[in-house]
């Protein structure tokens, strides 16, 4: 049986060479036939609409799932998992350049902000990874540090560059998924 991967993309346009498209294409290509990678188009950024889309995508699935979230998609997945009863076993959660809403003045959007006790409300996730560039021009590296502090069990992968979109791919993400 193929492993199920749900990839929730970043905010903004998702056309060719935009948003998460390059990262998704790389992931699908590198994971190959043993994985079913689903990356639905998400509506305009609105947490309730994105949550509804996630629920609709996974309602027919059973067993285990790997969640990958890029930028806004990562923070939405984390919020969803900490607030909703996901009936699936989450084998892995991979957050790429995810904003930590509510911590910095420029990142105040209540609909995306996690509760203070979000960690205690998460389902058991045996494999949790954070990927972030130190000089990310979109989401500051401090956001990854906030997550790492709250989620000490997470493996944090830091990159020296300024990549936010990882259009050429993220080989460590592929390797981490394949190890599960």
Q: How far is CA 158 from the centre of its chain?
A: 15
The pLDDT value recorded for residue 152 is 96
- Strand pairing of 64-70 and 3-8? parallel
Residue 71, domain member (yes or no): yes
pLDDT exceeds 80 at position 160: yes
pLDDT category at 119 given cuts 50, 70, 90 is very high
On whether residue 23 sits in a domain, the answer given is yes
| Average pLDDT for the chain | 95
Q: What span, in angstroms and rounded, lies between the C-alpha atoms of 104 and 161?
A: 22
pLDDT for residue 62: 86
Beta bridge partners of 6: 38, 67
% residues pLDDT > 90 (the chain): 87
Q: Is residue 69 part of a domain?
A: yes
Distance CA 24, CA 9 (A): 8
Q: Is residue 1 part of a domain?
A: no
Half-sphere exposure of 28 (CA within 13 A, CB side): 13
* Residue-level pLDDT at 106: 83
What pLDDT does 150 receive? 96
What gap in Å lies between CA 40 and CA 43, rounded to an integer? Answer: 9
Is 107 part of any domain?
yes
Specify the number of domains making up the chain. Answer: 1
How far does the chain reach from its first CA to its final CA, in angstroms?
14
Tens digits of per-residue pLDDT, 66-90?
A: 999 999 999 999 999 999 998 899 9
Closest C-alpha to 111, from 145, 72, 53 = 72
Whether the pLDDT of residue 1 is over 90: the answer is no
Helix 21-31 with 171-178: angle, nearest 10 deg: 40
The pTM of the full predicted model, rounded to 2 decimals, is: 0.96
- 135 located within any domain: yes
135-158 per-position pLDDT tens digit: 999 999 999 999 999 999 999 999
Q: Note down the domain range covering 104.
A: 9-140+154-178
Q: How confident is the model at residue 178 (pLDDT cuts 50, 70, 90)?
A: very high
- CATH label of the domain that carries residue 70: 3.40.50.1820
If DSSP codes are grouped into helix, strand and coil, which group holds residue 38? Answer: strand
Which strands make up the sheet holding 35-38, listed edge to edge? Answer: 35-38, 3-8, 64-70, 89-96, 128-133, 155-159
Q: How far apart are CA 80 and CA 43, in angstroms?
A: 16
pLDDT on residue 104: 73
Q: Is residue 86 part of a domain?
A: yes
Give the mean pLDDT of 5-32: 94
């Amino acid at each position: 049986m193929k492993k199920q991967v749900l990839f929730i993309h970043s905010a903004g346009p998702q056309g060719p060479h935009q948003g998460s498209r390059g990262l998704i294409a790389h992931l699908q290509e590198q994971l190959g036939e043993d994985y079913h990678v689903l990356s639905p188009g998400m509506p305009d950024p609105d947490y309730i609409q994105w949550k509804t889309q996630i629920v609709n995508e996974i309602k027919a699935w059973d067993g285990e799932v790997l969640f990958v979230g890029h930028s806004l998609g990562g923070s939405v997945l984390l919020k969803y998992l900490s607030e909703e009863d996901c009936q699936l076993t989450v084998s892995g959660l991979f957050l790429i350049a995810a904003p930590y809403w509510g911590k910095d003045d420029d990142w105040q959007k209540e609909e995306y902000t996690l509760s203070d006790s979000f960690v205690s409300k998460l389902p058991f996730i045996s494999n949790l990874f954070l990927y972030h560039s130190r000089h990310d021009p979109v989401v500051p590296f401090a956001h990854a540090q906030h997550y790492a502090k709250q989620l000490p069990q997470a493996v944090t992968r830091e990159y020296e560059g300024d990549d936010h979109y990882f259009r050429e791919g993220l080989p460590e993400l592929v390797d981490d998924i394949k190890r599960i």
